[in-house]
Amino acid sequence: MALFHSCCLPTPSPPQLLSFRNSTSKYLLFTPAATPSRCRFPKLSAAVAVESPPASSADGVDSPKLLLEVRDLCAVITESRQPILKGVNLTIHEGEVHAVMGKNGSGKSTFAKVLVGHRDYEVTEGTVVFKGENLLDMAPEDRSLAGLFMSFQSPVEIPGVSNIDFLQMAYNARRRKLGEPELSPLEFYGYIAPKLESVNAKIEFLSRNVNEGFSGGEKKRNEILQLAVLGADLAILDEIDSGLDVDALRDVANAVNKLLTPTNSVLMITHYRRLLEFIKPTYIHIMDDGRIVKTGDISIAEVLEKGGYKALSAT
């Protein structure tokens, strides 16, 4: 099984993780996601879904390519069978930045975790196509190797595994997948040094165990270091702004902006307009009770900040 990035690791609980050793270290792997079974929620017919507007092609220029297409996605908590996602629709094209906002408990993190194949959730309905492939048929580690990255709201700690070992292994797994030669430790150090600088992270980050003992803000910065090292066609950032002081927020946002190209995209979950001032979204979506119920531009965040969700439902 290929390595699965720490960014895609679930909150660790013994049944979800496998471990193995190479010559130097112990690594944790994600066990494959449960195979989705199909069933319908009675409420599905009532699902309200708003699609992102189609990419503009008014001047006859080719529209950007479709990157992710989520249709009527429903998911339950694997253990309790409690429905959380109740018909999510979302379309992301290359080069777009999408923000998802919504009240606490509305299903934002669940949506993100379902996209990366977290074992706590089972997809019961709907489709997800990523870069033309059926994402739901792919094991979590393959989703990651295919170019999906997720920074968790609560990044996981991996005791006993240094950041640099972890990143080198993850990066080399990506290179193997692309048919490129792996980097030696020395070559990898040369590759990672400027990345470290780009996120303004301390050199000690590399020798410390993944996220172990990191402050909340350091964990978030470390997540962005992982993104800078591994790259992604679609980076899903779940509350990357939480716990960051204003300088750290600027650093993290700058690093994300530097990674944005016309062919990759960001899906960021946030509660605050502050992040959206640094990383300008193409669209903002509002999630409510497991569905995207509204899509618009930055003005949504302005209404939200002034009058809360009550004000938004009145628009």
Ligand X SMILES: Nc1ncnc2c1ncn2[C@@H]1O[C@H](COP(=O)(O)OP(=O)(O)OP(=O)(O)O)[C@@H](O)[C@H]1O
Q: Which of ligand X, Mg ion, none interacts with 190 (beta carbon under 5 to 8 A by kind)? A: none
CB of residue 269 to ligand X, shortest distance in Å:
7
Residue 201 Cβ vs ligand X, minimum distance, rounded to whole Å: 25
Q: Which of ligand X, Mg ion, none lies near 120, with the C-beta cut-off 5 to 8 A by kind?
A: ligand X
For residues 81 and 306, which CB has a smaller minimum distance to ligand X in the complex? 81
> Contact, 2 vs 173, CB < 8 A?
yes
Q: Where are the alpha helices (DSSP H) in the chain?
A: 108-116, 140-145, 163-177, 185-198, 204-207, 216-230, 246-259, 273-278, 299-313
Query: Residue 96: which of ligand X, Mg ion, none does it interact with, CB under 5 to 8 A by kind?
Result: none
Span from 103-111, 139-147, 189-197, 247-255 in contact with ligand X (CB under 6 A): 103-111
Size of the site for ligand X (CB under 6 A): 12
How far apart are CB 108 and ligand X at their closest, in Å? 4
* Partner that binds at residue 241, options ligand X, Mg ion, none, CB closer than 5 to 8 Å by kind: none
Q: What 3 state SS string does 155-200 have?
A: CCCEEEEEHHHHHHHHHHHHHHHCCCCCCCHHHHHHHHHHHHHHCC
77 binding partner (options ligand X, Mg ion, none; Cβ < 5 to 8 Å by kind): ligand X
Spatial distance between the Cα atoms of 151 and 6, rounded to a whole number of angstroms: 9
CA angle 282, 252, 186 (to 5 degrees): 120
Does 102 participate in binding ligand X (rule CB under 6 A)? yes
For residue 109, state whether it binds Mg ion (rule: CB under 5 A): yes
Q: How far is the CB of 86 from ligand X (least distance, A)?
A: 11
**Shortest gap between Cβ of 101 and ligand X (angstroms)?**
9
Cα(29)–Cα(258) distance, rounded to whole angstroms?
A: 29
160 binds ligand X (CB under 6 A): no
Six-digit token string for 185? 């430790």
> What does the alpha-carbon distance between residue 123 and residue 134 come to, in Å, rounded to a whole number?
13
Q: Quick check: 84 binds ligand X (CB under 6 A)?
A: yes
Which residues on adjacent β-strands are paired with residue 68? 92, 130
Q: Which of 69, 94, 96, 120 binds ligand X (CB under 6 A)?
A: 120
Task: Tell me which residues touch ligand X (CB under 6 A).
Answer: 77, 84, 102, 104-110, 120, 153
